[in-house]
Structure 1
Amino acid sequence: MATDDRDVIADIMRKTRIAILTYQDAEGRLVSTPMGTQDFEDPGTVWFITEVATEKVRAILANPHVNVAYASDKGWVSLSGTARLSRDDAKLKELWDASASAFMSTDVDDANSGLLEITGDTAQYWESPGKVPMLVKMAKGLLGGKAADEGDAPVVEL
């Protein structure tokens, strides 16, 4: 991946408070849930704190293929990869913060607290041209009877 692509992806991810994790449930339906990104040193590895005894974790253990979507004023990222449950207590303690305490019904020392580690295979991103140009493109599409062309998003190998 070009450094510029990786930098753009990382910037969008950092500026997004809540990501959307999509996984497949036991019946094969796609399910999306909001998750707070706890950490990533590289856009190819993302960490989420989670409660372990959940349908979400059971579904991910059965089928680890996931997508994580990020959206900020900077743009949008779609990260595709695999998830795994981590029981690394040291990493959990490193990542636990006030936001985790606010959203979790468990605490850092609870056996039901764990981590989801997402390893990205590919990412697509769309840089935001800003609010005014985006509105102009949308208006042109509506007035001209054609869909606004945003172009294809680059697929970036991670």
Structure 2
Amino acid sequence: MTETHENFWDLIEDHNICMVTTNDGGKLRSRPMAPRVEREAGVIHFLTENGTPKLDELHHDSDLALNFSDPSDYRFASVSGRGVVSRDRALIKKLWGPYCEIWFDGDADTADVAVISVRPEQAEYWDNTSGKIRTAYEMAKGYFTDQQPDVGDNRKMNF
């Protein structure tokens, strides 16, 4: 795995929520979801209730986008991939966590849920390594001069 790929996985592992975008009959539709990152496997999973529109949308078009955002630290990532839906109870049990009981009726054995698994095909990230004071300086510099601010590392990659 390259350093760029390592940095990408480091960045998204820190996010508790990301926006998942699907194609809803020709219109893009996003909703916040809790990612479960399996770095070694190169997969991002989401638990969702069965019968939700996003599952139907993925049935018709498996392309999706994931957007991770931490504006307080200027850290962002965008992922393109395909969503694969599974109802494998062993995988559900593996991904089940305390937050699940807030969102779903039942437990890991009985909840009426599915797993959306995404293997990234392409991604881009912006990672601010400068700190907030340096970022503020760079933004001010960009505003008052002709110089574009340097607010960190930007990389695009294929998987």
Q: TM-score range by the shorter chain?
A: 0.7 to 0.9
Q: Which residue of 2 aligns with 1:34?
A: 32
The 1:70–1:139 alpha-carbon spacing in structure 2 relative to 1, beyond 3 Å, is same
Aligned to 1:153, the other structure's residue is in SS state: strand
Q: Which residue of 2 aligns with 1:67?
A: 65
Q: Bigger CA drift: 145-154 or 54-63?
A: 145-154
Q: Which residue of 1 aligns with 2:100?
A: 100
Q: Which residue of 2 aligns with 1:51?
A: 49
Aligned to 2:108, the other structure's residue is in SS state: coil
Distance 1:133 1:105 in 2: 46
Structure 1 residue 9 displacement after superposition: 0.9
Structure 1 residue 139 displacement after superposition: 1.5
Q: Is the 8 A contact 1:23 1:67 kept in 2?
A: yes
Aligned to 2:15, the other structure's residue is in SS state: coil
Q: Is the 8 A contact 1:107 1:113 kept in 2?
A: no
**1:98-139 deviation per Cα after TM superposition (whole angstroms, max 9, x unaligned):** 111112345433463110001110111111132122212221
Q: Is the 8 A contact 1:45 1:118 kept in 2?
A: yes
Aligned amino acid, residue 7 of structure 1: E
Q: Identity rate of aligned residues, in percent?
A: 27
Q: Which has the higher contact order (CA 8 A, sep 6+)?
A: 1
Q: Which residue of 1 aligns with 2:122?
A: 122
Aligned amino acid, residue 21 of structure 2: T
Q: Which residue of 1 aligns with 2:7?
A: 8
Structure 1 residue 48 displacement after superposition: 0.6
Q: Bigger CA drift: 81-90 or 29-38?
A: 29-38
Which structure 2 segments of 5+ residues have no match? none
The 1:81–1:113 alpha-carbon spacing in structure 2 relative to 1, beyond 3 Å, is same
Which structure 1 segments of 5+ residues have no match? none
Query: What's the Cα RMSD here?
Result: 2.4
Structure 1 residue 157 displacement after superposition: 1.4
The 1:106–1:20 alpha-carbon spacing in structure 2 relative to 1, beyond 3 Å, is farther
Distance 2:109 2:82 in 1: 26
What TM-score comes out, normalization by structure 2 length?
A: 0.84
